[in-house]
Each structure stands twice: as structure tokens, then as C-alpha cells.
Amino acid sequence: MKAIIYRDNGAPDVLRFVDRDLPAPGPGEVRVRVAVSGVNPTDWQARSGAGHPKRFSEITPHLDGAGTVDAVGEGVDRSRIGQRVWLFMAAAGRPTGTAAEFTVVPAAQAVPLPDEAGFDVGAALGVPALTAHRALTVAEDGPRRLRPGALDAKVVLAAGGAGAVGHAVIQLARWAGATVISTVSSPEKASLATAAGAHHVINYREGDPAAEIRAVAPDGVDIVAEVALGTNLALDVAVLRPRGTIATYANDGGRPVELNVPQNMVLNTRLQFLVLFTAGPEARAAAVEDVSAALRDGALPVGTEHGLPLVRFPLHRTADAHRAVETGTVGKVLIDVTP
């Protein structure tokens, strides 16, 4: 089979397009013929070695993807062969991710993909959708699970609504009944956040964004899903309601976080840091179930018309795909692996 591998951390040039033997699924595992592989910032960070210690002599990257089960290991129902699935955390703690024609994962990490959902949708779920679910379910006064109505009467602020996680936050929050506000940095990104389903979109580089958000939510925002904590914390606190939650999954830009302790004490702010790898199996399983329900309801479409442009590369150009993600290409970067 064709695969992408790297043996040393470094720039995208360490990625190589190679032939490898077909992997065999072990007990409790399935083998998936990968149709589309999704690329996330954590994939290039792992490749570069930024905060991700390399544990294997050779690694095939990428956590997310979609395809078809073509073999199962001992203990897995053989009726799963031929099932269309979406994959998450394929390369987490394992050397074989989705940047290959076939990959092997634990059966629970190959989630059934509804017939009406394409492989592009499946490959765009994984890290972004599960992270968005986590951000929306950690509030003190909020739900632990998402379903239609779970966020009724809540106001959600999706920072960076044109990004993959921000896009999923908008879609899941809207599906669950929240009023959704999104902040963006340009008119083009505003169009994408609106297409994703945000009720209100505000350019944080213009005017008085705090006043604009307060005009929509005079009592304050219940949950902020934050992508650039150091840059946006002052705005987040200015619009947060008492006992509100700032759930941060990234610090884009790398700006140091300066915390006004008395202000946050008065607000009883909950500042929740999150990453899927250490969220725990129960939280991940709940997220998979709820995201699957939203998917069945048609709540998670992708493409420019739905607020998430798709940027495609063939498998042999995976290095270029990594460069695209590293340089902040707007939209979801996908690798076309097999027809």
C-alpha cells in the first residue's frame, strides 16, 4: 500500500511517500481502507516535535479520516466489514495514522458514517468536532451532553468561527439550541461563520466588539469557545456572565495570558483548558455519541456554502497539505487517499 511516513521530527520535508505492507488488524481492531484523511494543527505539531515527543521509529501521521472497514480482528463483529466509518485519534499513541491507503484502529475509533454523509464530512469530524463538543459541555451551569434543546436560552461565543473547531462549535451549538455569536477578523471570514449558522458575527478588529456582543447578550455570554486565549481573554471576560465559562483549546498567536484575578473572582469565571488526549474516555465516548447524533440530523455539513471550505491534496503531496495548515489556510485541509 502507499503511505506517508516520517522517521525524524522536522519541517514538512521529512514526510516521505513510500510503499508499506498491508497492516493486519489485531484483537479488537478494524482495518479501514482510507478514502479521505483530515489534517489538523496537532498533526503538523506532532511531526515537527512541538510538544509531542516522538515515540516510534517510524510514524504515519494524521488522527482523522474516513473510509470503509475491509477487515476485522478477533472479537469484532464481521458484519462491520464494508461499513463506512469516520475515524478519530488514529495516530494517538500509535505509529499508524490515516495518511495511508489502509490503517488499523481500535474498533471504537471507527464510527459508523451515515449513508447520506460523504467521506469529506467524515474526515472533517474527529478532532474539531469532538473538541467543540468538549468546549460546549464543561460549563458549571451547562449540559454534559448535547442534543436539540440542551443549550436552549444559552449564549455561545465561538471565537474564530471560520476555523475548523470554531465551525464545529457554531454547528453543534446551533443544533443544541444556543444563540450563537462568532468573532472573526475579516468580511470573508464573517461570510463563512454566517454560512456555518452563527446568528451574529462580529469583526473583532473593528469598532467596539465588547459593546456589540453585549448588545446581543446584555446579561453576558454563557460559554466562550476560545482559540486564541492570550489575544482574546480581555474581550472574553468583558462579555462573560457571572459563572460563565471560557473553554480554551488553543492559543493561536502564542501571546502570553495575562489574568486579572480580582475581575475573574468577582465573575466566578470558569477557565477550562481542554485537549482530547487527556479528556478521558468517558468524555470522548459521550462526544462521539452526540456528534454522531448531530451528523444523523444533518447538522454538520462542510464546504464553502456551509462555512468550511475544503482544500484538497493528493496523498503524495501531504507535505504541501501540512504547509497549508501551518500557514493558516482558511478551511479544512483534506488528503484524497483512495477513490
Residues 180-199 have a mean pLDDT of 97
The separation between CA 117 and the C-alpha centre of its own chain, rounded to angstroms, equals 17
- Confirm if 44 and 62 have CB atoms less than 8 A apart: no
Q: Helices 229-239 and 209-216 meet at what angle, rounded to 10?
A: 40
The rounded radius of gyration (Å) of the Cα atoms in the chain is 20
Q: What is the pLDDT of residue 223?
A: 98
The per-residue pLDDT for range 294-312, each reduced to its tens digit, is 999 999 999 999 999 999 9
Number of domains within the chain: 2
Considering the domain architecture, whether residues 140 and 272 belong to the same structural domain is answered as yes
> CATH no. for residue 256?
3.90.180.10
Domain annotation covers residue 203 = yes
The secondary structure element, H or E, covering residue 288 is: helix 281-296
Q: Residue 332: which pLDDT band, with cuts at 50, 70 and 90?
A: very high
Q: What is the pLDDT of residue 146?
A: 98
The per-residue pLDDT for range 101-122, each reduced to its tens digit, is 999 999 999 999 999 999 999 9
Considering the domain architecture, whether residues 268 and 304 belong to the same structural domain is answered as no
Considering the domain architecture, whether residues 269 and 206 belong to the same structural domain is answered as yes
208 vs 205: CA distance, rounded Å = 8
- Confirm if 33 and 68 have CB atoms less than 8 A apart: yes
Q: What is the pLDDT of residue 119?
A: 98
Tell me how far apart the terminal alpha carbons of the chain are, to the nearest angstrom: 14
**DSSP letters spanning 192-245:** HHHHHT-SEEEETTSS-HHHHHHHH-TT-EEEEEESBHHHHHHHHHHHEEEEEE
Considering the domain architecture, whether residues 144 and 113 belong to the same structural domain is answered as no
Considering the domain architecture, whether residues 198 and 305 belong to the same structural domain is answered as no
Q: Residue 6: which pLDDT band, with cuts at 50, 70 and 90?
A: very high
Q: What is the mean pLDDT of the chain?
A: 97
Q: Residue 150: which pLDDT band, with cuts at 50, 70 and 90?
A: very high
Considering the domain architecture, whether residues 264 and 205 belong to the same structural domain is answered as yes
Domain annotation covers residue 273 = yes
* Nearest Cα to Cα of residue 328 among 88, 119, 44, 4: 44
The secondary structure element, H or E, covering residue 38 is: strand 29-39
Dihedral of the alpha carbons of 210, 199, 170, 133, in degrees to the nearest 10: 80
The per-residue pLDDT for range 209-224, each reduced to its tens digit, is 999 999 999 999 999 9
Q: What is the pLDDT of residue 68?
A: 98
Percent of the chain at pLDDT exceeding 90: 97
Amino acid at 29: E
Q: What is the pLDDT of residue 253?
A: 86
C-alpha distances (whole Å) from 288 to each of 105, 113, 131, 143, 293 are 15, 12, 10, 16, 9
Half-sphere exposure in the Cβ direction for 101 (13 Å, CA): 13
Q: Residue 52: which pLDDT band, with cuts at 50, 70 and 90?
A: confident
Q: What is the pLDDT of residue 51?
A: 73
Q: Residue 187: which pLDDT band, with cuts at 50, 70 and 90?
A: very high
Considering the domain architecture, whether residues 60 and 158 belong to the same structural domain is answered as no
Domain annotation covers residue 19 = yes
Q: Residue 53: which pLDDT band, with cuts at 50, 70 and 90?
A: confident
C-alpha distances (whole Å) from 37 to each of 90, 123, 333 are 10, 6, 9
Residues 178-196 have a mean pLDDT of 97
- Confirm if 32 and 102 have CB atoms less than 8 A apart: yes
Domain annotation covers residue 295 = no
The per-residue pLDDT for range 23-40, each reduced to its tens digit, is 999 999 999 999 999 999
Q: Which domain holds residue 90?
A: 2-125+300-336
Examine the pLDDT at 195 and tell me if it is beyond 90. yes
Q: What is the pLDDT of residue 339?
A: 74
Domain annotation covers residue 291 = no
Considering the domain architecture, whether residues 113 and 135 belong to the same structural domain is answered as no
Considering the domain architecture, whether residues 113 and 134 belong to the same structural domain is answered as no
Considering the domain architecture, whether residues 156 and 249 belong to the same structural domain is answered as yes
- Strands 29-39 and 332-336: what pairing? antiparallel
The per-residue pLDDT for range 63-114, each reduced to its tens digit, is 999 999 999 999 999 999 999 999 999 999 999 999 999 999 999 999 999 9
